[in-house]
Structure 1
């Protein structure tokens, strides 16, 4: 499989979860392991461009696929706008859910550059944050959308 643009070849046990391959074998610890039941969303990564909860994906299911983790969000010129907006708008507290929130928010904005607050809330509905109450997370995603629109000259 390819992870963040780098090809990896591993022999793995059939029962190994993708989250454990990423964290334990590839040392990409930005993807958090929270529940093993797909409830919290902290382990969200992209597989072939779509968000998946890596605690419910077997590593063997990623054979021949492309996986993107939170480590790949930062680009050559610095933080992704979603990352910067989470910092600017205090969209995180303990940080445990943040990697999954960032990956979900990035996908939302890639697909829908100007989401409503309702659309933002729907997009992150599969993510659980036990600290923030979601207000600042929604504000951060809105801020990222607005900043990206301004960068494109949409405003």
Structure 2
């Protein structure tokens, strides 16, 4: 799997503009200082796996909890599919709901869900193709980055937009 994920914080008003005119997303440059963003590299599906107790991005149509929506919400910007981009968003209200769930999750709980063989079998992460296989700490470190990012977004009343390409 070579797909990388990034998440951007946006003002709710700008997100609403993007929802109406989805190609407006193409004007965003995450490297500009006006956007706070994080790059999850290829670890994003591993984070989904740990948070949803074995789910993957392919399960996003079955999303039911706030926590399983943290990376891919199921609220997709489908016009961007034509550009080879998978993008979904959370409103500022949904971001606040998600962080309330994220802060309840312990390292011990996530560790109990880590299973590199199952992750590989489900296509979450191809451990066999890497010289140095990522361990639980690798995914947990990215999870911590995501949690801090969402906590910051919630405090600032920001919406988020995740894109995978």
TM-score by length of 1: 0.25
Structure with larger RCO (C-alpha < 8 A, sep 6+): 2
TM-score by length of 2: 0.24
Whichever structure has more helix as a proportion of its residues is: 2
